[in-house]
A and B are shown apart, each in its own frame.
Chain A
Amino acid sequence: MTALVERVRDVRRVPTRFLPVIVTFALFVLMFAGGGLRYDSFASGQVLLNLLIDNAFLVVLAVGMTFVILTGGIDLSVGSVVALSTMVAAALLRAGWPPVVVMLAVLAGGALFGLAMGAVIHYLEIQPFIVTLAGMFLARGLCYVIDLQSISIEDPLFRTIAQTAVPLGEELFLSPAALVALAVVAVAVYVLHMTRFGRTVYAVGGNQQSAMLMGLRVAQARVGVYVISGACSALAGLLFTFYMLSGYSLHAVGMELDAIAAVVIGGTLLTGGSGFVLGSVLGVLVLGTIQTILSFEGTLSSWWSRIVIGLLLLVFVVMQRVLARRGAAR
């Protein structure tokens, strides 16, 4: 009898964990269908793929941000690290470095930047908000040290990657950047759900004190997520470079907030311990759909997308609160 009650409770509980992601998915489908009804040629496969192509860098950023937020932290530096990565890549290419070495150097730099922030956060016990805020100013400032002007990229490899279209059947294509983003998502899902490191990330977000008493590698997880976020930011910077074919100090201003918004809309709790990478991807797609609808509409100012995102965020945070209350009341 009690076993039966447990079962019934289970059936009701499983959706609670996945509910935010399911809601986000429903919202995405709804918005996309709405767009398709309102505009001809909206509901095509390529428009869907374009969402990925245009937001590949944001997907990668959101994946890194998901790791950080799952531990209960935050990373405000990601937008600036994207800008710094575009600048470093453009400057090194201008200096004649081989493109592959440039890419590796940028990735390593981002990871190191994250490592430094993570170490300060964990070992000196300083709020992630403040440390990454400092990181944000630092990275943005370093951009101006490299060059005040925009640096355009002439490197043939970068240009080739930027212009390549990977065909998917008839008339559909993806960019290499979008494929990279999808690969990052797959690796992230594997790491979070199939490795001890990933489970420790969730455990730390659930209760850091307990995780420590259980003998888990809390330091590794807490510092590690910032390394991952830093590396993801650098990778997003490279993808952004393919997209813009220039390095510029004012690239990606405020992009950290888009990434955080995508993660939250994707159903990850800001307090940590609960959420999914796939939710964050859906969050990015929702943000992208809003942009696409506005561009189809044509007459609306782009500020409307900010207003819609603001409202969505509010709705989602309130929804999480309500779900958490219901869960606690049970």
Chain B
Amino acid sequence: MAGSRPLVEMTGISVAFGPVQALEGVDLRLYPGEVHALMGENGAGKSTLIKALTGVHPVDAGQITVQGEPVAFSGPAAAQAAGISTVYQEVNLCPNLSVAENLLLGREPRRAGRIDWRGARRRATEVLGRLHLDLDPSSPLDAHPIAQQQLVAIARAVEVDSRVLVLDEPTSSLDASEVEELFRVVRGLRDDGVAILFVSHFIEQVYEISDRMTVLRNGSRVGEYRTAEISRVQLVSAMVGRELEVLERLDRAPAAPADETESPVLRAVGIGRKGAVEPVDLVVRPGEVVGLAGLLGSGRTELARLLFGADRADHGEIAVDGRVVRIRNPRTAIDAGIAFSSEDRKAGGVVGDLTVRDNIVLAMQASRGWMRRIPGRKQDELARRWIELLDIRPADPDALLRNLSGGNQQKVLLARWLITQPRLLILDEPTRGIDVGAKAQIQALVAEQAGQGTAVVFISAELDEVVRLSDRVLVLRDRKPVAELAGEDVDMDRVMGLIATGGEAGA
């Protein structure tokens, strides 16, 4: 089914943002009539590569050719004019307008300068018919569920005879039958000879729809594979990398996971939320580190958000220190002694325009109530102690947080939560995007906190980190818990196998 020669060929693409090398010498080939999956964990460079292709980011080195001709797009509009359309994860349409208008906005058929509405409706019906979509073109877009809107977005993308269609995580908010509908459309387009680049975190979906895949890790290409020729375990191993041999196991006394008598800090029973994560049981005892392993979108972050009340669970029960608590929002979680360091530091944690000191005392001040201000001297003392303890640099309590490096911002965030002496500390990717030295410091800190009796839930995209730090590991896959490993069973191969196959024999 593959054409003899690629429609789009990207060779040696490098993109840097300031000092950060986001992509280095990456190749990608898209063939007509083929679905090509782009795989990789967070920060692997998938979205940067898509943006390089569609002209959002200029490339620093490398060449892009379309049908053999070198191109350099000035932006998405130019890429679209050359037949490369992109559909993003969020539906980028106007909900207040009709389906037909959303299909044709900006290129409505006109007669004598005015929009030819009858022609527009006819054209819209044609386009919808081509994708076998049964939608009334004159109905408003927001009358339809998000999955249908997604399909309208695809219809809009192919309305202009696209030869290349980029689908950036189109399935992340769809349920199984909606995904089927989407795939039906994608297959139809593939059979029409469109080259499709498909980005998704759902391994099963990728195996179902793609013919070929390219795996990225840390801004480099790991390899290009035919989907039929790579096993799930090989794929996951390519995505997460295997640096197990070089990193030593952290020097820490194994906690006493066998001590089942000790009452758990956290006992969650059947906690879940529709569309986010299916019911999960989770127990964390004092001094224990429980890792959540899984790929992006497996439900690991979603579970953490439920525990902290950032999203509300629609079933299940949470008990902290043996007492059932209703976690309605982050505030009730904090009152119950739960701290959560979010995956997205910028959006969910640090306040860039405040000083290091202000950021450190923020949570403590909040728990005291705004009327009882922490005295200035006490603030200074706290800030200095934690700056020293966590080796935050620059060691200046008055520095603005946004001027600190990612690793140091993360340390400030940790200090903020540790100061409140939480019973349960949930860390979602605390080491993402920070340098190796800071990473090791944060890992040591997690181990130390656990040693002092804090219960820790640890999430990381880097499996070796999870394996090294955790006493027990809960493996999640496609929003479902698949297994829990403890003690000797916690090892890289086993975790990876579970992520890849979900624990079914073989694969």
Contact = CB atoms under 8 A, between A and B. Distances in A.
A285 interface: no
Nearest to B88: A213
Contacts of A190: 114
Given A3-B134, A200-B106, A215 B139 contact: no
Main DSSP-derived SS at the A contact region: helix
Given A17-B140, A214-B106, A207 B92 contact: yes
A75 to B, nearest CB: 21
A211 B94 contact: yes
A205 interface: yes
A122 interface: no
A27 B93 CA distance: 34
Contacts, number: 78
Contacts of B93: 207, 210, 214
Q: How large is the interface on B (under 10, 10 to 19, 20 to 34, 35 or more residues)?
A: 20 to 34
18 contacts: A2-B134, A7-B136, A9-B143, A13-B140, A194-B115, A195-B114, A195-B115, A196-B115, A199-B101, A202-B94, A203-B105, A205-B96, A207-B93, A211-B94, A211-B105, A214-B92, A214-B93, A217-B106
Given A195-B114, A199-B108, A10 B136 contact: yes
B97 interface: yes
A330 B143 contact: yes
Contact of B96 (A9, A206, A209): A206
A6 interface: yes
Interface of A: 2-3, 6-7, 9-10, 13, 17, 190, 193-196, 199-200, 202-203, 205-207, 209-211, 213-217, 273-274, 327, 330
Contacts of B139: 6, 9-10, 13
Nearest to A205: B96
Interface string B82-113: 00000010011111110001000110101001
B88 A6 contact: no
B311 interface: no
B101 to A, nearest CB: 6
Given A2-B134, A203-B94, 7 more contacts: A9-B139, A9-B143, A194-B115, A206-B94, A206-B96, A210-B92, A215-B77
Interface string B445-480: 000000000000000000000000000000000000
A190 B92 CA distance: 27
Contacts of B91: 210
A202 B142 contact: no
Nearest to A271: B96
B73 to A, nearest CB: 13
Contacts of A202: 94, 96-97
B125 interface: no
A17 B92 CA distance: 21
Given A214-B105, A215-B77, A206 B95 contact: yes
Nearest to B140: A13
B140 A6 contact: no
B161 to A, nearest CB: 15
A199 B115 contact: yes
Nearest to B120: A199
A273 B96 contact: yes
Given A10-B139, A216-B105, A216-B106, A199 B76 contact: no
A325 to B, nearest CB: 13
A215 B95 CA distance: 17
A215 B80 contact: yes
A12 to B, nearest CB: 9
B179 interface: no
A214 B94 CA distance: 10
Contacts of A216: 105-106
A262 to B, nearest CB: 21
B92 A209 contact: yes
Nearest to A194: B114
A330 B76 CA distance: 33
A25 to B, nearest CB: 21
Contact of B95 (A10, A199, A207, A217): A207
Nearest to B91: A210
B57 to A, nearest CB: 15
Nearest to B142: A327
A207 B94 contact: yes
B170 to A, nearest CB: 15
Contacts of A207: 92-95
A10 B134 CA distance: 14
Query: In the complex, which of the residues A2, A6, A199, A205 has the most CB atoms of chain B within 10 Å of its own CB atom?
Result: A199
Given A7-B136, A209-B92, A213-B92, A199 B105 contact: yes
